[in-house]
A and B are shown apart, each in its own frame.
Chain A
Amino acid sequence: MTTYPEDLYYTKEHEWVRVEGQSATIGITDHAQSELGDIVYVDLPQPGATIEQGKTFGSVESVKAVSDVYAPVSGEVAEVNQTLATNPEKLNEDPHGEAWLVKIKLTAPDEIKQLLSAADYQKYIGA
């Protein structure tokens, strides 16, 4: 069974956030990748784009379906994980680590308080 890292925050839409000062890294959870199945394409915003909590900022395409990715927190995109453009399978292999989606500069750090802890997220997905 997957363990969900304690130092991440989670959403009910199955994204995770790692907060480091005013920056945050965003990805999708292991549960999300496993539900989607083999991922074949990842669509992400350009650096400099602003993302808004609860709104979609990209999409992940698997052989089954295309799913929107929702911003867990608001901010400005600082960096995009270029590896995923050529190696989308990384999202299936290491969703909480190497296969992060974007790094952002937080514009509303208080939003973090609305997110789930690892324990709450695991309870939510029934893991």
Chain B
Amino acid sequence: MVKKVRSHITQNEPLLFERSSPGKKGYQLPDLDVPTVSAEEALGADNTRAEIEDFPEVSEVDVIRHFTRLSTWNYAIDLGCYPLGSCTMKYNPRVNELVARTEGLAWAHPYQPESLAQGAMEVMAALEAALAEITGMDAVTLQPAAGAHGEYTGLLLTRALLESRGNPRKKILAPDSAHGTNPATATMAGYAVENIKSNDRGVISPETLAAAVNEDVAALMVTNPNTLGVFEEEIRKIADIMHSKGCMVYMDGANMNALVGIARPGDFGVDVMHLNLHKTFSTPHGGGGPGAGAVAVRSHLEPFLPGPRLKRVGEAWSWNYDLPQSIGRVRAFYGNFGVLVRALAYIMAHGGPGLRLATMDAVLNANYVRKLLEPYYEIAYKAPSMHECVFSDDRQAAKGVRTGDIAKRMIDYGFHPYTVSFPLIVHGALMIEPTETEGKAELDQMAEALIAIADEVEKDPQMVLKAPHTTRTGRVDEVGAARKPVLRWKRS
């Protein structure tokens, strides 16, 4: 029987365990010219390792081919449009990589003495200053390693401030359109969560909020623009309501790509926020990142920031550990430094006017896609879109086709799907965020694919319901995987 009839893109690939062949090696050593010594006798049984059962034995080329083939199954921003709403999958400029590979930065060690780390410290100081300017805030910590980590840090800062005023309070308010991480963060920080219902325009009503705010509330967690891609126009009034009761306003900066260079959270009443450097500031995202969730605060929260903090001593940078009110470290060393270098490279390559232009392009692209698709898909809320647009699958659901089916069909057309079924307040959401990365040609192609799929839903719904057709595997058993997960390979 012929075992291989497909190119590597679609062929099946066994696990390394399954490729293993006893005694196969990827190296050659010269014959031993000294007497053999038993490690166990020489070092003691406690200090020697047992053989790992079933450890794969493969050659170098086996390993290279295995992982290279797997890598060809990936979809990446370097292959095409990646309109995953709320995730800001923008292109990672190669100049960032060049800068991050600068020898002194790439090989810097966190235990290097300050006198030999001045360049790295200057990078961090410059990034903190740039992020403070962009957000209109007073101080920034670069330690948190991801967005949710930034949220958690931000709420610990809020708790520390309120505790210093005598009462940490009990509750966090979050709109029903919030990212799922917001209520999770609040719970982790020891707060109860209260949901605020969005109004029929998809935003928070000051009246609804005012009725929910009291002296038990520590903070409001708000995303602006919110997860519908709609700007919370009453944000100034919302912040005033919170502040009048001594509450903080936390902003989830996930959607900052709609604001950079145009509006500053510090100017519209935000006390503390995080930025996803891996979204807004173009550092690698997906495939593990790693992420970076810098937190920016107004001056009243600055004394509580994680330490150590950068401090200028004469002409040099130094670490200040004398921070009596600090919440302490939230991460080892100084954050994901390599990511911070890339974010600074992005900011400096653009400059202020360039960042502003990127924001305007991101908003323009989302509105362009919205206009192209509005005749075919139901827009969820009429309010103007910022950097992303959200449709519902109402028209297609009438034919029995849901957002998840349309997303899978998009894969056949060669695009990464949009975000499916989020935000939860939209029934069957299709959430599309093109980012400023895409030019008109790519956006037109992506919209054409979605329009073609809308047509298929009318004429041949099975085509969409059974998608994807062109991938190595089609529909997988998501329910079975969740109900009876198999987490470890075992030899059958």
Residues of A within 8 A of B (CB): 38, 40-41, 61, 63-66, 88-89
Contact = CB atoms under 8 A, between A and B. Distances in A.
Contacts of A41: 482
Given A63-B478, A66-B180, A89 B483 contact: yes
6 contacts: A38-B478, A40-B482, A40-B483, A41-B482, A63-B482, A89-B483
Contacts of A66: 180
Interface of B: 180, 404, 421-422, 424, 478-479, 482-483
Contacts of B479: 38, 40, 63
A66 B422 CA distance: 12
Given A63-B482, A89-B483, 14 more contacts: A38-B478, A38-B479, A38-B482, A40-B483, A61-B482, A63-B478, A63-B479, A64-B404, A64-B421, A65-B421, A65-B422, A65-B424, A66-B180, A88-B483
A48 B404 CA distance: 40
Q: Which 6 A-B pairs have the closest CB atoms?
A: A40-B482, A38-B479, A63-B478, A40-B483, A64-B421, A63-B482
Contacts of B482: 38, 40-41, 61, 63
Nearest to A66: B180
A89 B479 CA distance: 10
A89 B482 CA distance: 11
A66 B479 CA distance: 14
Main secondary structure of the interface of B (DSSP, over half): helix
Contacts of B424: 65
Name A's interface SS. Answer: loop
Nearest to A40: B482
Contacts of A89: 483
Nearest to A56: B193
A31 B476 CA distance: 26
A118 B482 CA distance: 33
A38 B402 CA distance: 14
A89 B180 CA distance: 24
Nearest to A92: B479
Contacts of A65: 421-422, 424
A33 B76 CA distance: 35
A65 B421 CA distance: 8
A21 to B, nearest CB: 32
Contacts of A38: 478-479, 482
A54 B452 CA distance: 44
Most chain B CB inside 10 Å of its own CB: which residue of A38, A41, A89: A38
A31 B478 CA distance: 22
Contacts of A40: 479, 482-483
Nearest to A68: B195
Nearest to B404: A64
A88 B421 CA distance: 21
Contacts of A88: 483
B225 to A, nearest CB: 22
A75 to B, nearest CB: 20
A88 B482 CA distance: 11
Contacts of B478: 38, 63
A123 B353 CA distance: 54
A37 to B, nearest CB: 8
Contacts of B421: 64-65
B331 to A, nearest CB: 27
Nearest to B195: A68
Nearest to A35: B427
Nearest to B420: A64
Nearest to A67: B424
Contacts of B483: 40, 88-89
Nearest to B403: A64
A61 B478 CA distance: 13
A64 B482 CA distance: 11
B116 to A, nearest CB: 48
A88 B484 CA distance: 11
Contacts of B180: 66
A51 to B, nearest CB: 14
B475 to A, nearest CB: 12
Nearest to B485: A40
A10 to B, nearest CB: 19
Nearest to A87: B483
A70 to B, nearest CB: 10
Contacts of A63: 478-479, 482
Nearest to A41: B482
A36 to B, nearest CB: 11
A38 B404 CA distance: 13
A42 to B, nearest CB: 11
A64 B404 CA distance: 9
Nearest to A38: B479
Nearest to B402: A37
B211 to A, nearest CB: 14
A85 B435 CA distance: 42
Q: In this complex, which of A40, A61, A66 has the most chain B Cβ atoms within 10 angstroms of its Cβ?
A: A40
A63 B485 CA distance: 13
A55 to B, nearest CB: 9
B178 to A, nearest CB: 13
A38 B180 CA distance: 20
B314 to A, nearest CB: 54
B254 to A, nearest CB: 18
Nearest to A37: B479
A14 to B, nearest CB: 13
